[in-house]
Amino acid sequence: MKAPVRLAAYGAGLVVAFGAAFGLAGVVVPDSVLAAWAKSSDTGSHGEGHGDTEEQNMEHAMNGVSASAAGYVLSPVTAPSGTNDAGKLSFRILDEDGKPVTEYTRTHEKDLHLIVVRTDGTQFRHVHPDLDEATGTWSVPSWNWDEAGTYRVYADFTPAGKDAEGVTLTRAVEVAGDYAPVEATVSRTDEVDGYTVTLDGELNAGSTSDLTATVERNGKPVTALEPYLGAFGHLVALREGDLAYLHVHPAGDEPQAGSTGGPDVSFAAEVPTAGRYLLYLDFQIDGKVRTAQFVVDAGHGDGTQADDESHSGGH
């Protein structure tokens, strides 16, 4: 991770008594704290003075700010407690009756996407755990934390059933040790393993914005992008402050297996409020997935930018 941030996209948590024993990685931040983070975004300066607009209506549909939503609950997360430990990361998705969910609708080629990021926007990871259908437990067999700090863990999935909609649940996990948070500053270009990735396009609250990522190497366009999760790139967007998870959709038709693309990958993004957003682009070349990270400021629906105050206490 390099400064400015080496950048990381579904209310208060329902308290449920679980029959199975799930240990915690350090101290799990209470869901009331997550709700407070979400509430702070509603009362921040970037949301004031714009009336009942589409921007505010979209705000109510924000994902990834609670351990419970749409009748589903993310169980406590079992994981190593510190940076010197290694072990399994595991969790379950429970329904409104407290029973583990074992059937899902596949989206972006997977039944569940696990996003993990430190609350300052660094240490981003996008992985796909394995499901034990007998117990409903999702797990990553080998997991370690590179740095200490408070992390947000997102489970992004679509339940089984006709017309089911996607759900993103989250919990916060504390990893023991000292760390210095990194401040997010605007950055539209990232260098990853010799590849230069540039993000073009503007974000405006309350409307759909077109974004295009361009991949180059040694100043030349890269046309060897391989399909990854049903597209030539997968973009996750998080709102600074509460780290609400945003849906970002790839543009164009799904590529065929074995095809290649690039250098441009386009997306349609919807942001509910003005302010700072953390974006993470996964792209695959020669079978290896790399992540480019950006920080972008979104303007109000009228085209004005958010006040600087909205960026002063995001972490």
State whether residue 273 is helix, strand or coil: coil
**Which of 1-10, 31-40, 175-184, 281-290 bottoms out in mean pLDDT, i.e. has the lowest?**
1-10
Residues 37 and 160 in one domain: yes
Contacts (Cβ under 8 Å, ≥6 apart) of 89: 25, 77, 78, 79, 80, 129, 139, 140, 143
| Residue 283 pLDDT class (50, 70, 90 cuts) | very high
Side chain identity, residue 208: T
Q: pTM higher than 0.75 for the full model?
A: yes
Residues 254 and 149 in one domain: no
Residue 139's domain is classified under what CATH number?
A: 2.60.40.10
For the stretch 149-171, pLDDT in tens is 999 999 999 999 999 999 999 99
Residues 228 and 285 in one domain: yes
With respect to residue 35, please indicate whether it lies within any of the assigned structural domains.
yes
Residues 211 and 278 in one domain: yes
Number of CB atoms found within 10 A of residue 9's CB: 26
Domain final residue pick, 135, 150, 175: 175
Q: Is residue 307 predicted with pLDDT exceeding 80?
A: no
| Residue 304 pLDDT class (50, 70, 90 cuts) | confident
Helices (H), the chain: 31-43, 54-59
**Whole-Å CA distances, 45 to 50, 209, 311:** 11, 22, 10
Residues 52 and 126 in one domain: yes
Q: d(Cα 211, Cα 244) in Å, to the nearest integer?
A: 19
| Residue 19 pLDDT class (50, 70, 90 cuts) | very low
For the stretch 30-80, pLDDT in tens is 444 444 444 433 333 333 333 344 444 444 456 899 999 999 999 999 999
Residue 115's domain comprises 28-175
| Residue 301 pLDDT class (50, 70, 90 cuts) | confident
For the stretch 197-245, pLDDT in tens is 999 999 999 999 999 999 999 999 999 999 999 999 999 999 999 999 9
Examine residue 4 and say whether the peptide bond preceding it is cis (omega within 30 degrees of 0): yes
